[in-house]
Structure 1
Amino acid sequence: MAVVRKAELWMEKGEHFFTNGFSIFVNRVQERFELPEHVHDFYEICYVVEGSGFHYVEEETIRVRKGDLFFLPIGVSHIFRPASADPKKRLLISNCIFDEQLFQFLTSILPGQFGMYRFREQLLQRDCWLQIQERSGEFGTLFNSLFEEFQQKRTGYETMLCGLLLQLFIQMERALEGAEAPVYNRMETILRVMRERLGDKITLAQLAKEVGLGTRQLQRDIAEHMGCSFSELLLSERINRSCRLLEDTANSRRSIADIAAAIGLQDPKRFYRVFKEKTGMTPAQYRAERGTI
């Protein structure tokens, strides 16, 4: 994907994806550790087609699985990471991106008459994003149709894509009926404290004490909301932090051993091993890849 560096995050530009004045783009990608955390100047709907992993949205970490859908407004930073670099355990994501003008059109003209899209005003708030889990494959069916139409580009495909996107908005509306957006206040605290202590040798008991929970309750919270153990979550957070440090040009002269120590892995050999297990690359290879974007 074409990206432009802005501040400390990559900025993806719609102009690199939209062609012939048509502002919808659909793709399907196997997530790897090649694309850094980024923001974009367009709206994006992401759907987990297959596999599991993590989605880092702003300062939150969300364990994802097949059927998860995310609506990301303009300017929200995010990145998907697979749970493993093993190609047999791939994380496959479908993306539908569109510009602000089209979003305003599809959520203003018809809804004004028929009263749909109660989430529109919420989405217009700065940094607001949504996570929805499909109930019976409804999002997957629509994304398959979106992808097929975009790939085949038969007569009238532009109108068909707008119609399918409109259906997707309606299905989102239905999924949100009677349900509040998930709130993970306790998990937010757990993740915040964990991230503040990444450079330390933090244990489950220490983290539990700092967030005011028993160890069993902490384990249950992590398993319920993240789908993994404390040690797996801690390692994923450390590797994600190391990726950010390796991507940051301000750290270009910092040794890999120093970066390993900064995330709490004092043994460089262990850092090399777990980093490659997670990303499929050595830290040096990852830093070189980032420098070529």
Structure 2
Amino acid sequence: MPPIRKPFEGEPLFPFELIHLTTKKQNDELPDHLHDRYELVYIHRGQGVFFIDQDWYEKKRGDLFLIPGNTIHRSLPRDEDPIVSSALFFAPSLLAAPSLGDGYDPLLAFEFARQRRTYRIELTESLISVVESALEQIENELRERQPGFREAVRGITSRLLLAINRLIWAEKDFDLAAEASVGPVWMNDVLRRIDESPEAQNGLAALAQQANVSAPHFSRVFKRLTTMNLTQYVNAKRMIRAKELLRATELTVEEVSRSCGYETPAHFYRVFKTLTGLTPKSYRNAVNLSV
């Protein structure tokens, strides 16, 4: 039986979900499945088995599982000692931010998991407290929905991932920053250029030529390091800028479209609605109403 694709509901502009302190038995779990979102699973108590990407993992209190997007997985709790877990799902674009020049990326730990096919981390007692506290804070923010709760959730999640990344840096026998960040020097330059000027009309052939590598090699390395193809990555960066302009300026939608590098407002409209679930005007109105 092929794996099923798990759907998500919720806010298109805030692709984030937390299932907190849930007791799971075998009948509650999905069969082999995958989804686009990144998933972080923390085991509060209980025992069971996790199948992730062709490998089996025992799970117990204090285990943390990092599951990159589109990774086949299935949970098998033991009914005699049911698993109590929390699962956090988010789109990687939610944590996207311009590079600060040190090669750090909040998703480094997920890239490590993908490259090494090692999806479980056994947490120290101090980190158990950090993870449980962060999950509780996120749960409170999502429940109370006070002004700025989305930004608070994103900030707490970023700090949680920073703690996890630093644990891997400290305990693993490799340099995570060197192996799992932005790869070759030429890719550093490409990503920095896109971050700084996402509106620029740089296609695959032109960027590969500038990097002095073949287009197929460029595509392979780019996909491995960003989990997206070039068009998807550029559109994600352009959407970040578009949202900022719609939120913080009085530019018309057509002016925002040009500022973000789209040749026609119609093209901008289609991409914006596909990626956010809203039209540019609806997004601006929703943001204004929430202020």
Calculate the TM-score normalised by the size of structure 2: 0.51
Distance 1:26 1:120 in 2: 19
How far did residue 171 of structure 1 move? 0.7
SS of equivalent to 1:177: helix
- Aligned residue among 52, 59, 68 for 1:64: 59
Large movers: runs of 4+ above 6 Å: none
Distance 1:126 1:174 in 2: 17
- What number of residue pairs does the alignment pair up? 167
TM alignment of 1:110-121, pairs within 5 A: 112-117=100-105, 119=108
The aligned amino acid for 1:134 is L
- The reply on whether 1:131 has 2:120 as its aligned counterpart is yes
TM alignment of 1:93-112, pairs within 5 A: 93-103=85-95, 105=96, 108-109=97-98, 112=100
Contact 2:66 2:109 in 1 (8 A): no
SS of equivalent to 2:165: helix
Aligned to 2:23: 30
The aligned amino acid for 1:52 is Q
The aligned amino acid for 1:145 is Q
SS of equivalent to 1:48: strand
Contact 1:53 1:63 in 2 (8 A): yes
Distance 2:62 2:113 in 1: 24
Structure 1 pair 128/23, CA: closer, same or farther in 2 (3 Å)?
A: farther
Q: Aligned Cα RMSD in Å?
A: 2.7
Contact 1:67 1:139 in 2 (8 A): no
- Aligned residue among 37, 45, 49 for 2:44: 49
How far did residue 126 of structure 1 move? 7.2
Distance 2:59 2:16 in 1: 25
Distance 2:166 2:113 in 1: 19
SS of equivalent to 1:112: coil
Uncovered stretches (5+) of structure 2, i.e. residues with no partner: 174-291
Aligned to 1:271: none
Distance 1:120 1:60 in 2: 18
Distance 2:24 2:110 in 1: 31
Aligned to 2:283: none
% same residue: 17
Distance 1:125 1:159 in 2: 27
How far did residue 173 of structure 1 move? 1.1
- The reply on whether 1:122 has 2:115 as its aligned counterpart is no
Structure 1 pair 125/62, CA: closer, same or farther in 2 (3 Å)?
A: closer
The superposition leaves residues 115-166 of structure 1 with CA deviations (integer Å, 9 ceiling, x where unpaired) of 4348368359579563222211221221121222222222211011000110
Contact 2:18 2:89 in 1 (8 A): yes
Aligned to 1:206: none
Higher relative contact order (CA 8 A, sep 6+): 1
- Aligned residue among 6, 10, 28 for 2:4: 10
